[in-house]
Amino acid sequence: MIKARLAKLRALLKDRELDGLLVTLPANRRYLSGFTPDDGQWGESSGALLVSRNAALLLTDFRYQLTAQVQAPLLETVIYKQGLAGEVARQAKRLGLKRLGLEAEAMLVAWQQRLMKELAGVELKATDGLVSRLRVIKNSKEIGALKKSLALMEQVLATVLAGEIVGRSELELARAITRTLEDQGAEGVAFPPVVASGPNAAEPHAESGPRVIQAGDPVIFDVGARLEGYCSDISRTVVAGGLEAADEQFRRVYALTRRAQLKAYEDIRPGMTGAQADAIARQVISQGGFGERFGHSLGHGVGLATHEDPRVGPHASDLLRPGMVFTLEPGIYLPGWGGVRLEDMVLLEDMGCTRLGSLDWFYDLA
């Protein structure tokens, strides 16, 4: 699989008249090599790949030498002792590279300046999404990994939703989700769990905080696991204390959000752009009178990263193709009251969307 991915990348390099590509985005690095370490803090790096038309190097330091040799046996491991930029320069000279691509989406200005200083005589070309274009179509093994990640997340979320949440804080529930995922074998959460209750739920990506959940609160759970490197992402909105505690605003907003999600699920087809797919759900919400309160995209790709291509939003030109996995997550957010978001991961197939999960925790209001 790694050999096939490298071959596809090399074909792209040839098309763009590049002698090589420096791969610095961690998800791309893992995709092309199997090397799993994260970069840690901002500005740090556990390594980079240098892929040319006839070589593939994993450049890393002493901390990861054994890991690199075990996880990336198809690549030549090079241990640098005096910084990544200097080693890239040495290897570029050895390989005879004249035009080297850089990943614009994963290149700090400081790193670029060091490379420019070290790589005198090598033309550096910013590239955008070369490896992402390869990652966007998932093979059967990747789809299986995504399903496993999602199944684990759904199992943990179902347990939380089946319990009592009134009287518990958002942060308490978020921490419980994280602990349970790790106890059940996940590498960790794909992103910090969002548990947003009452008026806090009017913020789409609210941070879970000390607020204690009260009966009648709308509560958004937006959670994801990471398993075997692959992420999951799912959202459910519930009423604390049960549907009988819901006000009429919740019933109206929830029903409209669910109709928008179902409409998108039923109507999205290969060949649409991300903007056309987004418009299917957005029209439902706009016609219901809440268009201005649906302020984010309908969805995004999920894979080795929680947010990746394809983009499914009002300005997305991405062409949707079979084999893509993305979310459908319409939402409505009302300041001072709260919000509703419903999110599922789907696989686009020849005839339309197939849900990857099975958590049918929905109110029958649509």
Do 214 and 112 reside in the same domain of the chain? Answer: no
Q: Does residue 362 form part of some domain?
A: no
Nearby residues of 333 by Cβ (< 8 Å), 6 or more positions away: 201, 202, 203, 204, 293, 294, 295, 339
pLDDT of residue 107: 83
Question: pLDDT band for position 258 (50/70/90)?
Answer: very high
What whole-number percentage of the chain has pLDDT above 90? 90
Q: Does residue 177 form part of some domain?
A: yes
Indicate the residue among 84, 116, 135 that finishes a domain.
Answer: 135
pLDDT at residue 38 tops 90: no
Pairing of strands 338-341, 344-349: unpaired
pLDDT at residue 13 tops 90: yes
**Each residue of 215-239: pLDDT tens digit?**
999 999 999 999 999 999 999 999 9
Mean pLDDT on 52-61: 96
**Each residue of 147-162: pLDDT tens digit?**
999 999 999 999 999 9
Do 201 and 224 reside in the same domain of the chain? Answer: yes
Do 163 and 273 reside in the same domain of the chain? Answer: yes
Do 88 and 67 reside in the same domain of the chain? Answer: yes
Looking at the 3D structure of the chain, how many domains does it have?
A: 2
Do 114 and 159 reside in the same domain of the chain? Answer: no
**Each residue of 59-78: pLDDT tens digit?**
999 999 999 999 999 999 99
Do 109 and 182 reside in the same domain of the chain? Answer: no
Average pLDDT, the chain: 96
pLDDT at residue 366 tops 80: no
Question: pLDDT band for position 173 (50/70/90)?
Answer: very high
Do 94 and 152 reside in the same domain of the chain? Answer: no
Question: pLDDT band for position 15 (50/70/90)?
Answer: very high
pLDDT of residue 44: 81
Looking up residue 37, the CATH number of its domain turns out to be: 3.40.350.10
Q: To 5 degrees, how large is the angle CA 148–CA 236–CA 323?
A: 45
What whole-number percentage of the chain has pLDDT above 70? 100
Do 206 and 107 reside in the same domain of the chain? Answer: no
Amino acid residing at 261: Q
**Each residue of 86-96: pLDDT tens digit?**
999 999 999 99
Do 259 and 342 reside in the same domain of the chain? Answer: yes
Of residues 15, 19, 16, 4, the one with CA closest to residue 50: 19
Lowest model confidence (mean pLDDT) among 8-17, 79-88, 229-238, 253-262: 79-88
pLDDT of residue 41: 78
pLDDT of residue 108: 84
**Each residue of 309-352: pLDDT tens digit?**
999 999 999 999 999 999 999 999 999 999 999 999 999 999 99
Full residue range of the structural domain in which residue 130 is found: 2-135
Q: Does residue 361 form part of some domain?
A: no
Do 150 and 102 reside in the same domain of the chain? Answer: no
**Global pTM?**
0.94
Taking the C-alpha atoms of residue 209 and residue 311, their distance in angstroms, rounded to an integer, is: 29
Q: Does residue 363 form part of some domain?
A: no
Length reported for the chain = 366
Do 153 and 238 reside in the same domain of the chain? Answer: yes
pLDDT of residue 336: 97
pLDDT of residue 40: 78
Indicate the residue among 115, 135, 155 that finishes a domain.
Answer: 135
pLDDT of residue 111: 86
Looking up residue 283, the CATH number of its domain turns out to be: 3.90.230.10
pLDDT at residue 109 tops 90: no
Render 261-313 in DSSP notation, one character per residue. HHHHHHH--TT-BHHHHHHHHHHHHHHTT-GGG--S-SEEE-SSSSSEEEEES
Do 239 and 281 reside in the same domain of the chain? Answer: yes
Q: Does residue 14 form part of some domain?
A: yes
